[in-house]
Amino acid sequence: MDFSPIYQALFSLWYLIPLFIIATIVQTAWFKGVMGEFIVNALAQWQLDKDTYHLIKNVTLPTENGTTQIDHIIVSIYGVFVVETKNMKGWIFGSPKQKMWTQQIYKHKNKFQNPLHQNYKHTKTLETLLELKESQIHSVIVFIGDSTFKTPLPDNVTYGMGYIRLIKSKTEPVISKLEKDTIIRTIQDGRLKASFKTHREHVSHVKDIIAEKENKQICPKCGSEMVIRETKKGDHKGKQFWGCSTFPKCRTMKAYDS
């Protein structure tokens, strides 16, 4: 049997292989994160005056228990802006106090860490490193992608160009020009070298944190942490169960298996 026509047909479709690989990469969380950061960087370089605002990208800083990675730091006389990027689609539900927020795409729901809490660690790390006051550092959360906020959120949680408007809305100088230059040098000197090893070690640290958190019970209704409670009355007196830590605001309960 002559297989040459089959080989020729397969060879003629060789270009589909790289297209398939590219399509697969585009769908990964890594690529979405990279694209989100690229868009935020591009907006900053396009919309913010370079003499007034200094952009520092992808900063990994050492902490007491590992490392913390900051997407973007923008230094100006109007303060140090710590920008956390989220490239997501779908409906976004959350409140400032919730530990977990929800992403909903059609009927599928996915929990993710409250970016306000995530960025809080970043701002506190910079406060310590730079010896700045809380009023001199601004936390900014920017969502990129086809997402819609379905719950009221603070002004520092923005979408797309909104984060540029937020930065420009700060017009009262809180840092001198000399302090600005010192801050930039301190960040550059204090950051870990941008390398694959640094990124790999940070990812490993984050995975350890996630693994620890996954051992905790999360309320399926409000996203808060659940705690072990004990029935005080009735036939089930003394029996333990998981109850939402925000009780009585949230009365969700789950069976406890010891």
State the average pLDDT over residues 173-198.
83
Query: CA–CA separation, 78 vs 208, rounded Å?
Result: 36
Give me the helices (H) in 131-238, please: 162-169, 177-190, 196-214
Query: CA–CA separation, 225 vs 239, rounded Å?
Result: 20
Query: CA–CA separation, 250 vs 243, rounded Å?
Result: 9
Q: What is the pLDDT of residue 207?
A: 46
Q: What is the pLDDT of residue 6?
A: 53
Token reading at 176: 């001198």
Query: What is residue 46's three-state secondary structure?
Result: helix
Q: Is 80 exceeded by the pLDDT of residue 218?
A: no
Query: CA–CA separation, 94 vs 111, rounded Å?
Result: 10
Q: Is 70 exceeded by the pLDDT of residue 8?
A: no
Q: What is the pLDDT of residue 64?
A: 74
Q: What is the pLDDT of residue 104?
A: 93
Q: How far is CA 227 from the centre of its chain?
A: 26
* 206 band by pLDDT with thresholds 50, 70 and 90: very low
Write down the residue that tokens 């913390």 correspond to.
68
- pLDDT for 53-90, tens place per residue? 999 988 888 877 778 889 899 999 999 999 999 988 89
* 229 band by pLDDT with thresholds 50, 70 and 90: confident
Q: Strand pairing of 100-105 and 54-63? A: unpaired
Token reading at 48: 């913010």
- The chain-wide mean pLDDT, for the chain, equals 79
Q: Give the residue among 93, 96, 95, 98 at the shortest CA–CA distance from 147.
A: 93
Of all residues in the chain, the percent with pLDDT exceeding 70 is 75
